[in-house]
Amino acid sequence: MAGEESATRISDLDSHVGARIRLRRTMLGMSQEKLGEAIGLTFQQIQKYERGANRVSASRLFDIAKVLDVPIGFFYDDMPLDPAAIPPVSPAVVTGFAEAQQSFGGPPMTAPPSSASLDAGVLNRRETLDLVRAYYRIPDTGVRKRVLDLIRSMAPAEET
């Protein structure tokens, strides 16, 4: 049974790394096709990496990190110490069309998260990515700070 547990942990790790590739790629507004072209792969191979269906080799991860302009460690950020505790990637995270419909106009798919329960699912939502992109397009840092203060003032107080 130890072999099965090890294989599950490896699969969970592959899924986590793939989800982080997808997160960074979508934050940059880059398509799977463009990422694939930049590293000499098809978009189908990028899809397989992002789903965790195929394992990303060290040299390929290095190439992806260069294209996405992040350090290698980025792909392991937010990973639980126990890889078996990594939540599975849900279909809602993988599909783009449903997310686009869920953007700012519709009700949230789940209850608003507390900072303690903030997970990769929330960070992968189209709404979150749209908000982050729009925020960083504001050229004046003072205005950005005021926007952030406004959003914080509208959110319920965090329980500590």
- The residue ranges of every structural domain in the chain are 1-89, 90-160
DSSP-assigned states of every residue in 25-73: HHHTT--HHHHHHHHT--HHHHHHHHHTSSPPPHHHHHHHHHHHT--GG
Whether residue 76 contacts residue 83, with contact meaning beta carbons closer than 8 Å, is answered with no
Pairwise CA distance, residues 19 & 124, whole Å: 8
Task: Convert the pLDDT of each residue in 43-93 to its tens digit.
Answer: 999 999 999 999 999 999 999 999 999 999 888 887 766 655 555 554 444
Write down the pLDDT at residue 71: 92
Please, which pLDDT band fits residue 134 given cuts at 50, 70 and 90? confident
Q: Is the pLDDT of residue 141 over 80?
A: yes
Write down the pLDDT at residue 7: 52
Write down the pLDDT at residue 13: 86
Q: Which CATH code is given to the segment(s) 1-89?
A: 1.10.260.40
Task: Convert the pLDDT of each residue in 96-126 to its tens digit.
Answer: 433 333 344 444 444 444 443 445 566 667 7
Write down the pLDDT at residue 122: 67
The residue that leads in pLDDT, 133 or 69, is 69
Please, which pLDDT band fits residue 148 given cuts at 50, 70 and 90? confident
Whether residue 120 contacts residue 78, with contact meaning beta carbons closer than 8 Å, is answered with yes
